[in-house]
A = this chain, B = another copy of it.
């Protein structure tokens, strides 16, 4: 048991999450001794401009000098909530090397350099915790690493990006288009002025890489994740989905198959009875499947000042208990397997395909034969609307390989009778 009465924390960053962490720690002062066995205070906050006033934050804690933190032997825990790869990565490496435990909310960093940082933490007997990097306030990484450790996990399916879920929910409710709804999301503060990372699925891909690494005990990095965003989803697709009692969600799907790990982020039609179908607005939810536990779902706020701070502070308190009990560094990198990544083209799914074709005899036969020749078996095909000699065709395939549907579509695109392929969306 370490003899320190009060542990000291430095927070790197005073943005939304940093301010949230400050508030939550402040609100816990009366309970701290009981919850971790000693006091705990934030003693330094690293910001770009230390002279800028920040409401509710004690100005005397602010510094713009990393050296003041890394060289301060009294600081026990470094909390990185600045985001981005650099300088966050350098700071974390220096902190761990100096024997300071680290709590981070940085998904970019953990999805890219997780192994290196976790190995470093283990080497220096430090904790490196990152619960807040996935699904904000929802407890998911610790449950996967600890509570579900007796399972062989086979699948994770999640709605792990609040911005896109808000946009798709609104499009579904109001019947509006993507651009219009994105604008609304930006006005309401749900989407950033540059929404690329969210709407292209990059943010979700990072979270899936982190979760897959933990669940399957094999390292998956951001680059391993096949990613498709929601920018091409139209109100028409959503209406067709409704007709089939389905909704469109941006899903992260990770599977541990016999041919390797499959990790993807893409829009998907799911049945309206599936528990994920009713996860709306900016809420997140993660479904996991283990051989012993079966299906478990975790649901809550995936972002926001206080929900994310809840996860960060949970990690800070856990780290503090470990410091008190001198058992930091207990859980390093848990990836002890080396499972290959399954090529995306080999993965299988049902597909919804919507295309515009010439409305004349032989068109349906021509299209069907392209699918048939490429091992794409069709569950349902319907001609929906016809106008000015152009007909809309909607196809639902059986489960087919991605390479086969891709080949089919490549050929269809070259056929004069096909005017456009408007939508290709996976079906769960």
Give residues in A with beta carbon < 8 Å to B.
Answer: 20, 24-25, 27-28, 31, 34-35, 131, 137-139, 142-143, 146-152, 217, 275, 278, 290-301, 304, 306-307, 309-314, 316-318, 321-322, 325-327, 330-331, 334, 336
Contacts and interface: CB of A to CB of B under 8 A. Distances in A.
**Which of A34, A143, A293, A309 is packed against the most chain B CB atoms within 10 Å?**
A293
A34 B335 CA distance: 9
Nearest to A311: B147
Contact of A309 (B150, B296, B306, B336): B150
Contacts of A304: 294
A275 B285 CA distance: 12
Contacts of A334: 34-35
Contacts of A336: 31, 34
A248 B147 CA distance: 31
Nearest to A136: B293
Contact of A139 (B143, B310, B314, B331): B143
Nearest to A37: B330
Contacts of A291: 27, 306
A-B pairs, 7 with minimum CB distance: A150-B313, A139-B147, A327-B327, A296-B300, A292-B310, A293-B310, A34-B336
A137 B293 contact: yes
A221 B131 CA distance: 32
13 contacts: A24-B150, A35-B334, A139-B148, A143-B143, A148-B314, A150-B310, A150-B313, A150-B316, A293-B301, A294-B301, A295-B301, A296-B298, A297-B297
| Majority secondary structure, A binding face | mixed
Contacts of A152: 27, 31
Contacts of A24: 150-151, 292
B137 A296 contact: yes
Contact of A307 (B292, B316, B322, B326): B292
A138 to B, nearest CB: 6
Contacts of A313: 149-150, 292
Contact of A28 (B150, B316, B322): B150
A321 B330 contact: yes
Contacts of A310: 148, 150-151, 290, 292-293
A146 B24 CA distance: 15
Nearest to A305: B292
Given A35-B334, A147-B311, A293-B300, 19 more contacts: A24-B151, A25-B150, A31-B152, A34-B336, A35-B149, A137-B292, A137-B293, A138-B296, A142-B143, A142-B146, A143-B143, A149-B313, A150-B313, A290-B310, A292-B306, A293-B311, A294-B306, A297-B299, A297-B300
Nearest to A147: B139
A110 to B, nearest CB: 17
Nearest to A304: B294
Contacts of A151: 24, 310
Nearest to A279: B275
A149 B311 CA distance: 9
Contacts of A139: 139, 143, 146-148, 296
Nearest to A335: B34
A81 to B, nearest CB: 14
B306 A295 contact: no
A146 B151 CA distance: 20
Contacts of A149: 35, 313-314, 317-318
